[in-house]
Amino acid sequence: MTTLRHFRRQTMSPRSSRMLALSAVLTVALAGCGVLPKKDAGSPPASSAPAAAATASGQDAPPALAETRSTMTENLKVEVVGLNRVKGKHLVVQIRLSNTGTEKRLSWPGEMGDRTRPLGAIKWASGIGVLDAQARTWLLPYKPASSPCLCSDLDRDGLGRFIDPGQSITVYAVLPAPSGNPATTTVVTPVGPPMLDVPISEDAPTGDFPDPDADTVTPVTRRLVLPSESLDRSEETADDGKDLQVNLSSDVLFAVGRATLTPKARSVLARTAELIDASPATVVTVAGHADSSGNDAINDPLSLRRAQAVQQTLSALLTRNGVRFQTEGHGSRRPLYSNDSDEGKRRNRRVTVTFPKPQPATQERAATTSPGSTGLTGTTEAHGQPIAMEVTGLRRLPGGLGLLTYKITNKGSSETWFRDLHHTQDWEAYKYQAATNVRVTDVAARRQYLPGRLEVPTDGGVDFYCACTDVSGVRISTEKFAPGRTREFWNLFALPDTADSLQVKIGPFRDLHVPIQ
């Protein structure tokens, strides 16, 4: 085709009008692609907006379905103005970006680009996505064979790099629809906290959008893994929504260099056996792992013997039949964390038990008690300036997920840096520094929940990105606060099925007892 899509005219700047007219006669990068079905422009207004249009705020603007504010850029408002399921399998997301300030122009491409994939140039709205909570998957725009993203491009669409004060632009992305045909979903961007419960329309979107069925496209998805661990550090669990991976500490199960289980090992394995009993598992994989110390001649047979010892005890502890075990020994070849620290090595010395995830508990949620405070605020200092924190929500999402949101404010009279949100344990390795220094604890169950992580395959292995607010990397200066400046941060966690409140620890602030909404 010769144009990517058509635009309904709105109030635009002269430059935007010229660029849009030019784009109508140029051959675009996505040659040969069709367009998705669209809503008749003469029909009554729907909940979606024309794509990639520039408009003065408040002039013929479609209503917002949800909104958030940029954590990094002051006066940048982000609104979902269109969320349409097309052909039952695609989703068209339209986002309105507004400059609510009165003085400075705001740059948008660096804000909206996907931090988890290289783009060559930051000019794409590739960070627009949705959270498929049931599948534990982060869905991002399709990648065509001839382009990095099936989404708005500032050069092709004539949007420019800046939004003038009081002005708005609308950008779009085409991506896979979440599984199960939900009526609502969570819309995510790199800009601010996720937007929850956004209604999905079955109507065709207003405007023309590229049809992913008309060209070769690759779905871009990120697996969301939600880790938790026992407070005694005997085991760590990673839940990806399909399988449960229980990493049992070899330091607890075995003596150094041995494959004979310690007296404490049986009680640790008993919990894992209960999880297997509660799951639909017919095959359970037990794999032994070592740290980088020693050599393969020692690590490989030792890791296999340890896996076999765990498998034999688990078999005896199970209360149901029909479970078959596979044992493996991988030595030091599959580390979970960096071997550059003692804690990283300790966590890499493990026996991993993997099986389908058990069904959620059905009992009623009971209130938990916590030694933390009952308020939702805290204070600390950064370079002599008072810093305030307020928890704004701990929301339960579908699929056993939880979203924690909180605000950080510089209450002082001078500009300061507040870097304590990423000062966390050295074994946690992420692509960028992020708000990882946050923990959620079920005190009664003696279990701690760590921030979720997005796993991105690379040629050399896997990169990990925190499912939380970035504070460096592509988000430079997020930790710098002017006097009176407030920023809202977020983290995704797994949440226990039966708790209605949890203990929350954010950086250096006091422990808080936070109800789950």
More confident residue, 19 or 349: 349
- Are 456 and 465 a contacting pair, CB within 8 Å? yes
Average pLDDT, the chain: 85
Do 472 and 440 sit in the same domain of this protein? yes
* DSSP for residue 399: G
Do 404 and 347 sit in the same domain of this protein? no
Q: Does residue 113 sit within a domain?
A: yes
Nearest by Cα to 96 from 10, 156, 184, 171: 171
Nearest by Cα to 188 from 132, 117, 122: 132
* Secondary structure of 231-276 as H, E, C letters: CCCCEEEEECCCEEEEEEEHHHHECCCCCCECCCHHHHHHHHHHHH
More confident residue, 206 or 407: 407
> Over 50: is that where the pLDDT of 121 sits?
yes
Tell me the CATH number at 246: 3.30.1330.60
Q: Given this model, what pLDDT does residue 439 score?
A: 95
DSSP strand pairing (210-211 vs 34-35): antiparallel
Do 397 and 500 sit in the same domain of this protein? yes
Give the separation between CA 245 and CA 352, rounded to whole angstroms. 7
Q: Does residue 112 sit within a domain?
A: yes
Do 264 and 144 sit in the same domain of this protein? no
Confidence of residue 35 (pLDDT cuts 50, 70, 90): confident
493's CB contacts (< 8 A; 6+ apart) are 226, 401, 402, 403, 404, 440, 449, 450, 451, 452
More confident residue, 407 or 371: 407
What is the chain's length?
Answer: 517
> Over 80: is that where the pLDDT of 348 sits?
yes
Q: Does residue 404 sit within a domain?
A: yes
Q: Given this model, what pLDDT does residue 117 score?
A: 82
> Over 70: is that where the pLDDT of 80 sits?
yes
Nearest by Cα to 114 from 188, 225, 40, 19: 188
Q: Does residue 139 sit within a domain?
A: yes
Do 308 and 450 sit in the same domain of this protein? no
> Over 50: is that where the pLDDT of 8 sits?
no
Do 247 and 151 sit in the same domain of this protein? no
pLDDT tens per residue, range 444-478:
999 999 999 998 888 877 888 999 998 876 666 78
Do 143 and 46 sit in the same domain of this protein? yes
pLDDT tens per residue, range 124-148:
899 999 999 888 999 999 999 988 8
Do 191 and 253 sit in the same domain of this protein? no
Q: Does residue 370 sit within a domain?
A: no
Q: Does residue 34 sit within a domain?
A: yes
**Lowest mean pLDDT, pick from 13-27, 35-49, 421-435, 470-484:** 13-27
Give the separation between CA 365 and CA 77, rounded to whole angstroms. 37
Confidence of residue 45 (pLDDT cuts 50, 70, 90): very low
> Over 60: is that where the pLDDT of 2 sits?
no
- Are 429 and 436 a contacting pair, CB within 8 Å? no
431's CB contacts (< 8 A; 6+ apart) are 115, 116, 456, 463, 464, 465, 473
The last residue of one of the domains, among 292, 324, 356, is 356
Do 403 and 506 sit in the same domain of this protein? yes
Q: Does residue 225 sit within a domain?
A: no
Q: Does residue 64 sit within a domain?
A: yes
Do 30 and 108 sit in the same domain of this protein? yes
Do 78 and 149 sit in the same domain of this protein? yes
Counts of helices then strands in the chain (DSSP H, E) = 7, 31
Give the separation between CA 114 and CA 103, rounded to whole angstroms. 28
What is the total count of domains within the chain? 3
Do 22 and 97 sit in the same domain of this protein? yes
Q: Given this model, what pLDDT does residue 459 score?
A: 82
SS3 505: strand
pLDDT tens per residue, range 266-324:
999 999 999 999 999 999 999 999 999 989 999 999 999 999 999 999 999 999 999 99
Tell me the CATH number at 401: 2.60.40
Residue 441 lies in domain: 377-515
The last residue of one of the domains, among 292, 327, 356, is 356
Confidence of residue 362 (pLDDT cuts 50, 70, 90): very low
Q: Average pLDDT, stretch 44-61? A: 46
Give the separation between CA 467 and CA 135, rounded to whole angstroms. 15
